[in-house]
Amino acid sequence: METKVRTAFNRHFNTEGTLYASAGRINLIGEHTDYNGGFVFPGAVDCGITAMIRPNGTDRVRACAIDLDDFAEFGLREEDKPAASWARYIFGVCREICKRGGKIGGFDTAFSGDVPLGAGMSSSAALESAFAFGLNDLFDLHIDKFELARIGQATEHNYCGVKCGIMDQFASIFGRKGNLMRLDCRSMEFEYFPFDPQGYRLVLLDTVVKHELVGSPYNDRRASCERVARTLGQEFLRGATMAQLDAVRERISEEDYRRARYVIGEERRVLDVCDALQRGDYATVGARMYETHDGLSKDYEVSCEELDFLVDTARACNVTGARMMGGGFGGCTINLVADNDYDHFIATATQRFAERFGHAPKVYPVVISDGAHKIG
Ligand code: GLA
């Protein structure tokens, strides 16, 4: 990937720049909790975005999206928003840096990525992080890492229409090889958890379907949670109990009730999984993953037929834990599989899924890797 980016940059701009890399992410558990002030448990993975960047001394950005074979040029003012959706991520990062008082100039860039698109592995956060991290370094801005993550998040909110939480950008920036991270999205305190499950593997199965999301079903879930939090007189759903929720049940819709019930349950499950991991108790980790899936599917309603099918197949194969991962409506399941069950599970899931849906799921073994960094 480095060579590809270097070559493309050279072809377009006839010179060399600095290379930066950032990562996609997985999330072991703690889904749709980040914007509720809750806990998430992600890690960066070994696929991401590689970007070469070079300040060009003008006030224009010239950007080449190698994989799309597309090129965009735009200025740095609010009214310069580019038409191409991929370029808006870069533009948004620039604008959010400017809004924070960061002084950046124009630059030339070429980038390429290998995060599967629409798989729920945060290809967009990887793109934002690569540029937030790279521009911070090149223009000597001294923005701290949390703010870099917030710049990516604000880009989604203000330029891409998704009112996402902080998990993806956090993971993409803070990721560390071999470690998951438990982040408290209310206090923003986090802890690295070395993750080396003896006798087990994590594997993603990608349904390769993406049901229409375009911000709204996601934003709609978030709005439900905020309504219930307000009814409870709280800033976030985080910390609310089932007893409190039941006490306001008459005042909220049945749909909001179910959504809040999922979120409240998920808080405990993340903490349980962290404790269980420290004891090496993978049976509990897996059991919680299945519970999360059931909540996401039945109460939160962000799963789909293909994801449910893969999780049911995992259950039928006695896989230790499985659930849909990320925002939902398509994308991947994450599976915690004992070494002995691995081959059988992958073969069975592939065959049954293909019989049912006409195409095989893609299989991505998980390698927990470093987040955003300079290659040089
Ligand atoms: C998307 C969002 C995240 C998070 C997850 C669900 O990936 O970008 O902020 O809310 O969905 O956990």
pLDDT in tens, the chain (376 residues): 999 999 999 999 999 999 999 999 999 999 999 999 999 999 999 999 999 999 999 999 999 999 999 999 999 999 999 999 999 999 999 999 999 999 999 999 999 999 988 888 999 999 999 999 999 999 999 999 999 999 999 999 999 989 999 999 999 999 999 999 999 999 999 999 999 999 999 999 999 998 765 558 999 999 999 999 999 999 999 999 999 999 999 999 999 999 999 999 999 999 999 999 999 999 999 999 999 999 999 999 999 999 999 999 999 999 999 999 999 999 999 999 999 999 999 999 999 999 999 999 999 999 999 999 999 9
Integer Cα distance of 102 and 320 in angstroms: 47
Structure tokens at 304: 């789909």
For residue 166, which atom of ligand 1 is closest to its CA?
Answer: 9
Note the CATH number of domain 2-194+369-374: 3.30.230.10
- The reply to whether ligand 1 has any atom less than 6 angstroms from the CB of 332 is no
Instruction: Tell me, yes or no, if 168 is annotated catalytic.
Output: yes
Structure tokens at 203: 């594997």
- The reply to whether ligand 1 has any atom less than 6 angstroms from the CB of 168 is yes
Q: Which of 168, 206, 299, 341 is catalytic?
A: 168
Q: What is the pTM of this model?
A: 0.96
Q: Which of 26, 34, 210, 267 maximizes ligand 1 atoms within 8 Å of its Cβ, making it the mutation to test the pocket?
A: 34
Integer Cα distance of 233 and 304 in angstroms: 33
Integer Cα distance of 154 and 337 in angstroms: 36
Distance 326 CA to ligand 1 centre (A): 6
Structure tokens at 70: 């597309």
Closest CA to 44 of 207, 182, 136, 178: 178
Tell the residue nearest (CA) to atom 10 of ligand 1.
32
- The reply to whether ligand 1 has any atom less than 6 angstroms from the CB of 167 is yes
* Model pLDDT for residues 354-363, shown as the tens digit of each residue: 999 999 999 9
SS3 call for 48: strand
Q: Which amino acid is at 205?
A: L
Total length of the chain: 376
Enumerate helices (H) and strands (E) in the chain, giving the number of each.
Answer: 11, 13
The residue to which tokens 């809750």 are assigned: 38
Tell the residue nearest (CA) to atom 11 of ligand 1.
327
What's the burial of 272, exposed, middle or buried (CB within 10 Å: 0-12/13-18/19+)?
Answer: middle
